[in-house]
Amino acid sequence: MAETIVIKCGGSVLSELSESFFHSLKEMKNRGMNIVIVHGGGPEIGQMLKQLNIASEFVNGLRKTTSEVLEVVEMVLAGKVNKQLVSLLQKKGLKAIGLSGIDANLIEAKPIDVEHLGYVGEVTNVNHLLLQQLTASEYIPVIAPIGCDQTGQKYNINADTAAGAVAMALAAKHLLFVTDVPGILRNGTLVEHATVEMILEMIDEGTIYGGMIPKVKAAIESIAGPLHEVIIVSGKLPFFSANGEICGTKIMKEAGVY
């Protein structure tokens, strides 16, 4: 059975994806791997909210999502950003299909905390059969992380969390977080391997901060499932080597466990 790799592309790096990033994707496809991409779009959402003069705030790293904000989030993520990324992949010779979590109930969700976060959701189910059908047809599904519940209420889902849930549902071999840095840096040096314990220490000491915190927390949650490691890689540098190695910070359950 073909290996599945779930790749989460952060909004901050989407406009900076290099030729080497797409070359790495092609190498993976050439080796028979299935690829699923989940993308963010925070900077684009922030820009559009500002243009429309809609107030927005963050609570514990998550964007508080009123119904007004949700409308903009869906418009930017499922509309503009999703189609730009699909178009870019196809221009690079990769077969891609754009989806939001609402299509075919791809991502079912429930609210995390309506009072403090509004319509921000956590994933309750992923339609993995749809994704498997698409990857079996050689497509790369490109997912905008909007979910909905059984009443049709939509939710804004943190893209790191959505990617983790998709990886678990597909029993993916690897989950990659693509960022604008080569991985976790400690005193300017790349941390090549880190355990959950090390990650928590680095958060406490302030080595891991800001937008990297939800990434590593999603990584830790993901490896509670069948995934044996999560890798933080750069979208600006080659991350898949000629011998099939993935380059970046590998986060593992515990030292020596693969």
Task: Tell me the DSSP string of 204-227.
Answer: HTTSS-TTHHHHHHHHHHHTTTT-
Cα angle 59-53-79, degrees, rounded to a multiple of 5:
80
Beta bridge partners of 249: 232
Name residue 92's amino acid. K
Contacts of 92 (CB under 8 A, 6+ apart): 22, 25, 26
Tokens 């059969």 correspond to what residue?
129
Strands (E) in 1-95, as ranges, are: 4-9, 34-39, 58-59, 62-63
The two tokens of residue 230 are 């999560």
Query: What single-letter DSSP state applies at residue 149?
Result: -
Taking the C-alpha atoms of residue 245 and residue 233, their distance in angstroms, rounded to an integer, is: 12
Q: At what angle do helices 159-169 and 212-222 cross, to 10 degrees?
A: 20
Per the annotation, where are the binding residues? Answer: 41-42, 63, 156
Binding residues for substrate: 41-42, 63, 156
Going by C-alpha positions, the residue among 154, 156, 230 that lies closest to residue 193 is 230
Query: Are the beta carbons of 143 and 9 closer than 8 angstroms?
Result: no
Under a CB-based contact definition with an 8 Å cutoff, are residues 120 and 147 in contact?
no
